[in-house]
Structure 1
Amino acid sequence: MRAVVVGGAGSMGRWAVRGIARLGGVDELLVADIDVARAQTLVDEVGGPCVAVRLDATDPATMAEVFAGCDVVLNTMGPFSIFARRILEAALDHGCDYLDIDDDWESTVEAFELDERAREQGCRVVKGIGGSPGISNLCAVVAADRLDDVEEILTGWSMRGAVIEEEAAYPATSPAGAAVEHWLLQISGTIRAWAGGAPADIRPLQRVLIDYPGLGRVAGRTVGHPEAVTLPRRFPGLRRSLNVTSGPDWLFDHARSVAAAYDAGRVSLQEGAALLGEATPPAERGVRDRLGTVWCHAVGTRGGERVAVSVEPAALPPGGMGGGTGTALAVGFDMLRRGVVGEPGVHTPEEVLDPAEFFACLASFTSLERGQEPLVVRELVAPAPTTVSEGIAV
């Protein structure tokens, strides 16, 4: 087994490399990065099967050279709106299986266009196996399986948890990285969601009020993410599917103003991403966000009653957003390596990965004691309806 992690020395990729090396089962693991010295630092740290290689994902010839002879390509390189398709196509060109942490809904939808090609090549593709999407999707499967019929699924993540923990050996290369650029793209223009049982283009950062089991009425904001459009593939009876983020109002007010400037063409993507980092908190902080780092809330019926089910991990791996996302990718790779994903084609985690097996493995990277349940599951009978502030804007 020979695998390559694209962006392997980055804030997400290095946690994937660490996780894969710990789980074993790979003979050679290429840490592919445009900064080969940074990649070598990680190789020196992790050891084992790791080898540093230089990769420029804008150069097809470089990708062809690195991917040749590989069995699996793992892509952690964002923004995925720019890099996802070209890296996936290069992987398919060389007959490689492929996994990524793509959190962009547009590039995820675009990847389904390559399903027939992947089947013809005999390649297994899993899109979006990170924190959100990934952990969130599999929480959704657990929640929906506790209902007879599911009508609404909200997946979410907190701004508090969407923080990259810097490591001294791997200093940030830019003030605003790909994750912040992605955030701006997913709060500007319109975003794809699922409403009224069909795809819908809605405004980002709408206020969503949720009757969350154990917490009561909580608020989130709509954001563009793949879960909103992939979960209806797994649960075709869904009436509503949204991805929301939670955090303080002052932060979302600032984000909305930056997104408006980007939409109007007054700032570039890079300039807007830098501005997002300049939000100034008020002197007095508001009420702390009660929602978890990553979670799912499903509403449907069971035994004739309307029931809400929430699911979230009891603990996450260390390393903040990078640790949670990269480790989830490593677990997804390990499951693919062991044949859990059997059929060629383009898949999402909720379609091909068993949640129980996934979360049991993920828990081994956390502080949970052996025997502790990896998920926190709560239920609420007769929840109040979910409300969205501004309705649908097609």
Structure 2
Amino acid sequence: MGRWAVRSIAKLGSAGRLLVADIDLARAQQVADEVGGPCVAVRLDATDEAALRAVFSDCDVVLNTMGPFSLFARPILEAAIECGCDYLDIDDDWESTVEAFDYDARAREKGCRVVKGIGGSPGVSNLAAMLAASRLDSVSEIVTGWSMRGAVIEEEAAYPAAAGSAGAAVEHWVIQISGTIRAWRDGAEQDITPLQPVDLEYPGFGPVRAHTVGHPEALTLPRYLDGLTTCLNVTSGPEWLFDHARSVAADYHAGTITLAEGARRVNQPQPPADARGSRNPLGTVWALARGERDGKPMAVSVEPRAMPPGKMGGGTGVALAVGLELLRRGLITRTGVHAPEGVIDPRDFFALYAEFVEPALPAGEDVLLVRELPGAAAPALRGLAGH
């Protein structure tokens, strides 16, 4: 994620000096040499609070792509605020996102602008949800989602993964499908079971199925949209893959395997012989809002027509770079801790995001695909198990 963010920030061209920080200096130097321009490599241990403050004290903005965020979000955010730095990250962990709002008063006191979760999901998904909601007079339900086929790292030969490691993104996934997750049900935060099926009537597709997952959007969107009764984040993919994930999550939750072992197992699914079937039509990242317009039920979906290259790395890193560019242009002004939908105008965001998508869109074509479904029934959420 960090590599793609660095590349995109350099392409946008407004950063005078861009520190590429990693505990592995050679790795950081490799990225700095590849991108060139304003990049300077620096060795930094994210567990060394004094070192964090020493580096941040000479910076304007801290961008955090260091996962898993359950471990590294708090100390990095805390150090950034204490050094008076603005801060953006790609945090997709609901617990650490909720915890970050505890720093709101301190961030305001220090004059810091903090944007939590400006990546693909959360990030693109939140802002798409706000656009969908803006097309309704009242909104009762929002479901944000992402596809498992898009949630993969595109391997780059020049940057081989560490041997035997499934990566922080996969470890995060194991955590967010284990035990219980937090979502918005019946107008309040509730704990629910992850990987439960959710049946949706999606504009243009008809009935589709996705599965609940722990993500920040379900808890941040209700902060900025009044009247929501339901807000969920879901993921889509083949049913056999979710059966496999549930099995691994159950073993991890029971304590019979470590997080690292769970991540390795999740990352090595074995599709059954009869795994072929109809492809889930849901896009890489999307949002669906349901409510009323002119007194009649209406559902609205919003999703990008195209995504940046690099799969999850590109989609996430580009969104972070665009968030930084909006901040540098003075389009993010409010101090304190916010989710993207609280401080970013979706139109500003997607106008810049469109410059990175592939294939490039024809002149005048909107990067977003908007569909409407009059009279849409509510998502089939009644079967969701709460705790």
User: TM-score band, normalised by the shorter chain?
Assistant: over 0.9
SS in structure 2 of the partner of residue 152 of structure 1:
strand
Note the C-alpha offset of 1:389.
6.5
1:278 Cα deviation (Å)?
A: 2.1
Give 3-state SS (helix, strand or coil) of 2:121's partner: coil
For 2:288, which of 291, 297, 310 is the aligned residue? 297
Alignment of 1:56-75 (within 5 A): 56-75=45-64
Structure 2: segments with no counterpart, 5+ residues: none
Provide the rounded CA distance (Å) in 1 between the counterparts of 2:382 and 2:145. 17
- Alpha-carbon distance in 2 for matches of 1:108, 1:138: 17
Q: Is the 8 A contact 1:131 1:294 kept in 2?
A: yes
Name the count of aligned residue pairs: 383
Query: What is the Cα deviation at residue 39 of structure 1?
Result: 1.1
**Alpha-carbon separation, structure 2, partners of 1:151 and 1:290:** 24
Return the letter of the residue paired with 1:193. A
Q: How does 1:325-336 map to 2 (within 5 A)?
A: 325-336=316-327
* Aligned pairs (5 A) from 1:1-394: 12-174=1-163, 175-284=165-274, 285-366=276-357, 367-388=360-381, 390-394=383-387
For structure 1, list consecutive stretches of 5 or more residues without a partner in the other structure: 1-11
What is aligned with 1:4? none
Seq. identity, %:
67
- Whether the 8 Å contact between 2:244 and 2:266 is mirrored in structure 1 is yes
CA RMSD of superposed structures (Å): 0.9
Give, as a single letter, the amino acid of the residue that structure 2 aligns with 1:312: E
Deviations 1:253-297 (A, max 9, x none): 010000000110001111111111221012231221110000000
- Supply the AA of the counterpart residue of 2:378: P
Q: What is the Cα deviation at residue 369 of structure 1?
A: 2.7
Contact 2:115 2:338 in 1 (8 A): yes
Q: Is the 8 A contact 1:328 1:362 kept in 2?
A: yes
Runs (4+) of structure 1 moved beyond 6 Å?
Answer: none
2:18, 2:254 → 1: CA distance?
44
Bigger shift: 246-255 or 275-284?
A: 275-284
* Worse overlay, 168-177 or 289-298: 168-177
Quote the offset at 1:390 in angstroms. Answer: 3.6
Name the CA distance, whole Å, in 2 between partners of 1:229 and 1:161: 23
CA drift of 1:25 comes to: 1.3
Deviation per residue, 1:173-195 (Å, 9 max, x gap): 24300000000011001000000
C-alpha contact (below 8 Å) 1:131/1:328 kept by paired residues = yes
1:65 shift after superposition: 1.9
Residue 68 (structure 1) shift: 1.6
Q: SS in structure 2 opposite 1:254?
A: helix
The DSSP-based 3-state class of the residue aligned with 1:183 is helix
Contact between 1:187 and 1:256, CA under 8 Å: does it hold in 2?
yes
Residues 121/133 of structure 1: CA separation in 2 closer, same or farther (3 Å cut): same
Deviations 1:298-350 (Å, cap 9, x if unpaired)? 00000011000000001111000000000000000000111111121001110
Q: Is the 1:19–1:326 contact (alpha carbons within 8 Å) kept by the matching residues of 2?
A: yes
Shift of 1:82: 0.5
Q: Secondary structure at the match of 1:376?
A: strand
Residue by residue over 1:38-78, the C-alpha shift from the partner in whole angstroms, topping out at 9 and shown as x without a partner, is: 11111111110000001110111221221121000000000
Q: Is the 8 A contact 1:200 1:392 kept in 2?
A: no
TM-score by length of 1: 0.96
- Check whether the contact 2:290–2:378 (CA below 8 A) recurs between aligned residues: no
